[in-house]
Structure 1
Amino acid sequence: MSARQDALKIFQAAVKAVQPSYLLPQHIKLEEQHLTILGDKIPLKEIKNLYVIGAGKAAAAMAVETEKIL
């Protein structure tokens, strides 16, 4: 494998790693009666409203993925 091919594989892996569809499910989970965010479990019975707030170029894509998880 050439250095160019190695660099391309590394680049592609880095791009995949930050895609909201790959990244967010690792950190946000909906499990039974709990919402887990970065390992912190929040009982759903304690949540009346949930607001997703973001800023930056990836905010819209991350909000879409968060909505899919929820």
Structure 2
Amino acid sequence: MAKIMVVIGIREAAKILRENGMQISDGDLRAGIEQRVYPFGDAVTVTSKPVFHIYLPLLMQWIAERSEEVANG
């Protein structure tokens, strides 16, 4: 059986990142997703404005990986 991917918005994702020590604005996160800097989301252009999909499990995995890097120095 396939897992359901939980999708959150930019504001919630940026809040989670800030709560985990990253200084990031909503706009910076949008730009990073569009430029494919952050692998935990996608930007889909439907009309003139992109729609952002942030995948919560991938975001949490990305945070955990960076937390391990900091802890291990």
Shorter-chain TM-score tier: under 0.3
Larger radius of gyration: 1
Larger relative contact order (Cα-Cα within 8 Å, sequence gap ≥ 6): 2
